[in-house]
Amino acid sequence: MKFIDPLPLIIASDILGFIYIWSLQTEKSDNELLVKWKNMFTIEKAALVTYINYIYWDKGNQLHLILGDETGYIRILSLSSMLEKLCINPFNNKEQNKNMYRRENVLYIYILL
């Protein structure tokens, strides 16, 4: 499970290969499941998600989800249109941001080998 900072979203996966995105309590939503998506390796077989991360750009409210699965595939999914359709915006200030583990001015780049 991972908080998508600075957005009011949580992402998680389970052992069946499903990926879930929940919204936190905001003006427009109230702790609801937004997305339930099955990570399919083939048409018949789902693959367990072993790595979840994200890249968020403030400019344009762009969100990309990075998924790695047990078969070795890495997928990058754009969730920007979902943010726009559901009117999901980042927290306006640090007091609204409930992620106490957020570090200031740090850029993380992960490379999977």
26 has a pLDDT exceeding 90: no
**Residue 104 — pLDDT band, cuts 50, 70, 90?**
low
Q: Are 73 and 83 in contact (CB under 8 A)?
A: no
**Residue 1 — pLDDT band, cuts 50, 70, 90?**
confident
Give per-residue pLDDT as tens, 77-99.
899 998 888 888 887 655 555 55
Q: Are 70 and 52 in contact (CB under 8 A)?
A: no
> Torsions phi, psi of 3, nearest 5?
-80, 135
pLDDT at 95: 55
Task: Give CA 40 to chain center in angstroms.
Answer: 18
> Torsions phi, psi of 83, nearest 5?
-60, -40
